[in-house]
A and B are shown apart, each in its own frame.
Chain A
Amino acid sequence: MTLLSFLPAGFLDSGPVQRALVTGAVAAVISAIAGVLTLIRGQSFAGHALTDVSAAGGAAAVLFGAGPLAGFLAGALVGGFGMETVELRRRSERDLVAGIMLGLGLGVSALILGRIVSSGSNGGAPVTILFGSLFILPPGVILPVSICGAVAVVLAALFTRPLLLAALDPDLLTVQGGSPRLMRLVHLTMLALAVAVSSLTVGAILSTAFLIGPAATATRLSARPGRTMALAAILGLIAGWGGILMSYKSYDWTDGHAWPVSFCIVALIVAAHLLLPPVFGRLLKPRQKG
């Protein structure tokens, strides 16, 4: 086990760490795929707004004594399909709708989290909902998280081509006999799954970083759709697992004041985005003929 000898003693044997690693990996992979699609559809801001509605859902679930995952997912789905019902005449109008949605989501989150805190039942809920709870996940979380991951991967495998074509121009898909509307619903569902699982990981507020960061880095490193998604997933996975390890180790570095895992993951995502494209972007450019 020399390969793993740099890991802290007992790291992989700890139940909370195992759950953190699995959940972090699922969040990284779904966010990467959904993130690339979100970027190329020009919907990063809508994706961000969705995370705030998702936060309200997670908070409501905690208020009623349920696990936050179902709440995050329900919130993201309601937000996404809510935005979908608004008729848009051009892309910029989507930002307007998303902005209103974002405000509403955060406002309702503030209301519910305030209720939870003032009732004295769960003072940690705001931090858990907004900034993640990766090391305190209950054992039962693995199954629903894995189902979310599996559904997202199946959707991606089924619909990658029409999703790309619709992102290029929805009319092109219609002319070829496909349905841009179905693609919008598929994308929203994938987005909701990604936001829900990453909200568990890095919290509702930071789940945008997981969604957009690795995807943005990957689109600058590769010009091929499949490779871009795979690369985004790998980058997300490295940031997710690396962040968990970094947070775990920071306990020793900072004599007891460990860095939150959300901070560590986001720091790695940002570092990758700043460093990798300038270093590797040139190398990965295709050879130019003629």
Chain B
Amino acid sequence: MDQDALRVDGLFLSRSGRTVLSGVSFALAPGSFCGLIGVNGSGKTTLIRALLGLLPADAGGIEGAARGHRALGYVPQKIDADPYMPLRARDVVALGFDGHRYGLPLPSRRRRDRVAAMLAAVGADAFADRRLGDLSGGQQQRIFIAHALVREPQLLLLDEPLANLDMPSIAGIVSVLKRIARESGVTVLISSHDVNPLVGALDRVIYLAGGGAVSGRPDEVLRSGVLSRLYGHHIDVLRVHGRLVIVPAGETHPIAPDEPHVERLE
């Protein structure tokens, strides 16, 4: 048996002929809650699509216990469905259960129970019978998480699920995901351009920059020295009133590293 849920080794990925990631390596332990952090365009979506098998790798390997269609759950960064799509929230989750199957969807108690359990797990009972297009962004996000979880994947990949959400929704979704990772042993990889909403919950950070990646515990990775080596130039990692701020040195920024309420993480 494979020790890691996922192991990425020297992975090279490109889009339209341009190299996006060159030689990225990391491993995810089963049941861990992992953050994929990087600025816009750093390659988070590209990496997630490659892990899902939606994008071929130029070189390098992706291995681990959580491989293949049965083992993967996916929440895309953006779903632009028709607002009149005739699907209730509940139907979307049911499509996660058996939407790839052929034939008429005969009534099934197993499917109904699984769907109901997932809707409850993500806190979507109240709007389960409403049309998908009538739900808010945060409500849809919960539905797509339930959709991805209903087949009980070993690895759940979520692409920027927290973008466009307010603070209470972010806290709600992070705690739902954290609980699912803990209770059912699912490995969760969640991408975000901001580390702050996640940092308290993460077991592991994979930080993307300049086509490369560093990974480790948050307190190992989110340090000036580590990120400076990754970026190839000096980076300040500052803690300001408990919030992490990652700034290239010399960039005009409202926070001066030497002010008293600012802590610099070497």
Q: Which residues of A have CB within 8 Å of B103?
A: 157-158
A148 to B2, CA, bound (A): 51
| Chain A residues near B126 (CB-CB < 8 A) | 289-290
Docked complex Cα distance between A224 and B95 (Å): 12
Selected from A165, A227, A290, the residue in CB contact (under 8 A) with B100 is A165
Chain A minimum-CB-distance residue to B16: A89
List B residues 54-108 near A (Cβ within 8 Å): 54, 69-70, 72-74, 76, 79, 81-82, 84-88, 91-92, 95-96, 98-105
The answer to whether the Cβ of B219 comes within 8 Å of any Cβ in the partner chain is no
Say whether B79 contacts A36, CB under 8 Å: no
B100→A159 contact, CB < 8 A: no
Q: Is B266's CB within 8 Å of the partner chain A?
A: no
Report the minimum CB–CB distance from A278 to chain B (whole Å): 15
Q: Tell me the nearest residue of chain B to A164, going by C-beta.
A: B95
B82 contacts A39, C-beta separation under 8 Å: yes
The yes or no answer to B129 lying at the interface (CB within 8 A) is yes
Task: Please encode chain A, from 14 to 43, with 1 for each CB lying within 8 Å of some chain B CB and 0 for all others.
Answer: 000000000000000000000010011110
Residues of chain B within 8 A (CB-CB) of A223 are 86-88, 130-131
Chain B residues near A286 (CB-CB < 8 A):
88, 129-130
Given A164-B87, A168-B95: A159 in contact with B102 (beta carbons within 8 A): yes
Size category of the B interface is: 35 or more
Which residues of chain B have C-beta atoms less than 8 A from A158's C-beta? 102-103
How many chain A residues touch B (Cβ–Cβ < 8 Å)? 40
Name A246-290 residues within 8 Å CB distance of B.
Answer: 286-290
A35 to chain B, nearest CB (A): 12
Task: Say which one of A45-53, A111-119, A169-177 lies at the interface with B.
Answer: A169-177
Q: Is B95's CB under 8 angstroms from A165's CB? A: yes
B86 contacts A228, C-beta separation under 8 Å: yes
Tell whether, in the assembled complex, residue A169 and residue B86 are in contact, meaning their CB atoms are under 8 Å apart.
Answer: no
Instruction: For residue A128, give the distance in angstroms from its CB to the closest CB of chain B.
Output: 34
Does the CB pair B72–A175 fall under 8 Å? yes
A162 within 8 A of B: yes
A98 at the interface (CB under 8 A from B): no
Is B74 a contact of A171 with CB atoms below 8 Å? yes
Residue of B nearest to A216 (CB): B84
CA distance A177 to B84 in the complex (A): 26
Q: Collect the chain B residues with CB atoms within 8 Å of residue A177's CB.
A: 69-70, 100
Are B74 and A168 interface neighbours, CB within 8 A?
no
> A233 to chain B: closest CB distance in Å?
13
Known: A175-B52, A178-B100. A288 touches B130 (CB 8 A): yes
In the complex formed, the residue of A with least CB distance to B74 is: A175
Determine if A222 and B100 form an interchain contact, defined as CB atoms under 8 angstroms apart.
no
Contacts of B105 in A (CB 8 A): 160-161, 226
Q: Tell me, rounded to whole Å, the shortest Cβ–Cβ distance linking A190 to chain B.
A: 15
Smallest beta-carbon distance A239→chain B, Å: 19
The 6 A-B residue pairs with the shortest CB-CB distance, nearest first, are A290-B126, A177-B69, A165-B99, A228-B86, A178-B100, A176-B100
If A158-B103, A162-B99, A171-B74 are given as contacts, then 15 extra A-B residue pairs at C-beta distance below 8 Å, sorted by A number, are A40-B85, A41-B82, A161-B95, A161-B105, A164-B99, A172-B96, A174-B53, A174-B54, A175-B74, A176-B100, A178-B99, A224-B87, A225-B87, A286-B130, A290-B125
List 27 contacting pairs A-B, 8 Å CB cutoff, sorted by A. Answer: A36-B86, A39-B84, A40-B86, A41-B82, A157-B104, A161-B100, A161-B101, A162-B101, A164-B87, A165-B100, A171-B49, A171-B52, A171-B74, A172-B96, A173-B100, A175-B52, A175-B69, A176-B96, A218-B86, A223-B87, A223-B130, A224-B91, A226-B105, A286-B129, A287-B129, A288-B129, A290-B126
